[in-house]
Structure 1
Amino acid sequence: METVIFLAIFNMIVLLIAIKTKKYLYTITPEKQWSKEIEEFDKNYKIIENIDVDNYTLGSGHLYEK
């Protein structure tokens, strides 16, 4: 009988902890969380788009030079 009471109390405690932690699990949306990373990615992408590659030549000693 003592074991059943202990298991019931233990399960109630675990259930209360699970409910309490779940409440705070999804309080921050991914958009808010990732906004800084998205802005940094967009900034870097625009910089890469503006790179002029028309005059690109391989120098001597380059791995792919034939």
Structure 2
Amino acid sequence: MHSERDVLVRNVFPELRRRAAQHCLYLQEVELRWGVTEEESERATELCLSEVCRSDIGSCLLFGRLGV
């Protein structure tokens, strides 16, 4: 999924930020698995949901994982 994330980070998110700014909105993308340490991995779901709860408005892209 690295190439897909790269496209989002390099192309999609900057364009969304530009369009949101035209309407006085601020877009902050969050990759919920970034910053979750190995020690916190057992609490990953809890940490991710706490980030979602901090948002005023949310949109979600979900991807499946293959393998380990």
TM-score of the pair, normalised by structure 1: 0.29
- Considering Cα pairs closer than 8 Å and 6+ residues apart, tell me whether 1 or 2 has the greater RCO: 2
Higher alpha-carbon Rg: 1
Q: Where is the helix percentage greater, Structure 1 or Structure 2?
A: 1
Structure 2 length-normalised TM: 0.28
